[in-house]
């Protein structure tokens, strides 16, 4: 573990702590630090940890914290709330990582990032679809072991994809799907009529009907009070045998346990990048299912997304200390 510090001698400036960082984010993040020159000093810990005691220790004395890859639990908030004045969250779904009500009650600002990884997440969702449709990864693994065993694939042309959520990421998936010659169904609580028209999508008001008509279902909802547990066992029971189900959004938009139960029936397949518990426990039953492709919450991890994310969190910290507002979530 190493520590990178800026303006170390400027003890008159407030401290910003970065207690965790993904290796690939270090270069784009350090390139944004000029935005905090003469505003705040920064301390970056270059290794990654989820140990709460270590994270709290690394926040010691900081007035602002950049949150990357870890949850600020209520217990952690109690331990650092006497000195932290601003959290800048680098990711999607800030409400599932930081208690926005508790921070607001304490007078702690929480900032998020917006539209930083639309392309990255959309492409990862399509990568999961492609793997489930053509099994290239599984065949590659088999070829490296030895032998010459192929598998039949599924063509995406003329298939119907249902997008649950039609914001920036959902619309990006729709653009890719059009390139494959797919039919697009969309559900969203507030649809962008122009985007629906431009992408030749068909709105469907009822989720059960949406699921029943789809060959592929891909979730692109933020986790909010009205989306938590939105998808029920009844909705999943509408999936026809052979349907591909993809979630690169948040696991919590599905009622707990019901997707695992549906997948254990074995007649549908799924590509999942998000889970109720992260990291996914080694003994989680999802790991045993041959009809599931799993990735460890990495859909957002791409160079363009890193550049946008790191710039936005730095801008939000600079705005806080200069009395301005930028990407405030609470």
Say whether 44 sits in a helix, a strand or coil: strand
Rounded Cα gap, residues 239 and 256, in angstroms: 18
Active-site residue flag, 79:
no
- CA 206 to chain centroid, in Å, comes to 25
* Four-point Cα dihedral 228, 125, 116, 18, nearest 10: 80
Active-site residue flag, 151:
no
Q: In the structure encoding, which two tokens stand for residue 182, read together?
A: 């797919």
- Choose, from 71, 183, 238, 297, the residue flagged as catalytic: 297
Closest CA to 156 of 191, 128, 117: 128
Rounded Cα gap, residues 165 and 201, in angstroms: 12
Q: Are 180 and 157 in contact (CB under 8 A)?
A: yes
- Choose, from 123, 209, 212, 278, the residue flagged as catalytic: 278
Q: In the structure encoding, which two tokens stand for residue 14, read together?
A: 């407030």
Q: Are 302 and 277 in contact (CB under 8 A)?
A: no
Closest CA to 2 of 46, 50, 33: 46
Q: Are 316 and 326 in contact (CB under 8 A)?
A: yes
Q: How far is CA 223 from CA 7, 93, 248, 249, in A?
A: 37, 6, 12, 8
Active-site residue flag, 134:
no
Q: In the structure encoding, which two tokens stand for residue 179, read together?
A: 């390139």
Closest CA to 120 of 304, 283, 330, 282: 304
Burial class of residue 122 in the structure, from the number of CB atoms within 10 Å of its CB (0-12 exposed, 13-18 middle, 19+ buried): buried
- Choose, from 41, 220, 250, 262, the residue flagged as catalytic: 250
Phi, psi of 66 (to 5 degrees): -95, 120
Q: Are 162 and 186 in contact (CB under 8 A)?
A: yes
Active-site positions read 250, 278, 297
């Amino acid at each position: 573990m190493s520590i990178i510090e800026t303006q170390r001698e400027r003890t008159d400036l407030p401290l910003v702590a970065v207690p965790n960082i993904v290796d690939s984010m270090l270069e784009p993040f350090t390139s944004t630090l000029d935005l905090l020159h003469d505003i705040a000093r920064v301390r970056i810990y270059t290794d990654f940890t989820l140990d709460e005691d270590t994270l709290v220790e690394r926040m010691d004395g900081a007035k602002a914290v950049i949150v990357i890859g870890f949850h600020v639990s209520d217990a952690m908030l109690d331990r650092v709330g006497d000195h932290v004045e601003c959290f800048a969250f680098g990711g999607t779904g800030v409400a599932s990582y930081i208690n926005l009500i508790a921070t607001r009650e304490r007078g702690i600002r929480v900032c998020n990032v917006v539209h930083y990884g639309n392309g990255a997440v959309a492409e990862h969702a399509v990568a999961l679809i492609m793997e489930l449709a053509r099994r290239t990864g599984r065949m590659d693994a088999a070829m490296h072991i030895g032998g010459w065993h192929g598998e039949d694939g599924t063509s995406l042309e003329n298939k119907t994809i249902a997008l649950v959520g039609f914001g920036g990421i959902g619309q990006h998936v729709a653009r890719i799907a059009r390139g494959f010659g797919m039919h697009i169904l969309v559900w969203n609580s507030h649809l962008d009529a122009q985007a629906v028209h431009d992408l030749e999508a068909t709105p469907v008001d009822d989720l059960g009907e949406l699921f029943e008509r789809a060959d592929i279902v891909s979730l692109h909802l933020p986790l909010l009070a009205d989306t938590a547990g939105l998808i029920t066992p009844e909705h999943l029971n509408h999936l026809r045998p052979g349907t591909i189900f993809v979630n690169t959004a948040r696991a919590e938009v599905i009622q707990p346990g019901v997707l695992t139960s549906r997948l254990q029936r074995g007649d549908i397949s799924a590509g999942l990048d998000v889970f109720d518990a992260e990291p996914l426990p080694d003994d989680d039953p999802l790991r045993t299912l041959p009809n599931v492709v799993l990735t460890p919450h990495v859909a957002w991890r791409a160079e363009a997304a890193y550049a946008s994310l790191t710039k936005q969190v730095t801008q939000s910290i600079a705005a806080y200390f200069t009395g301005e507002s930028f990407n405030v979530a609470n």
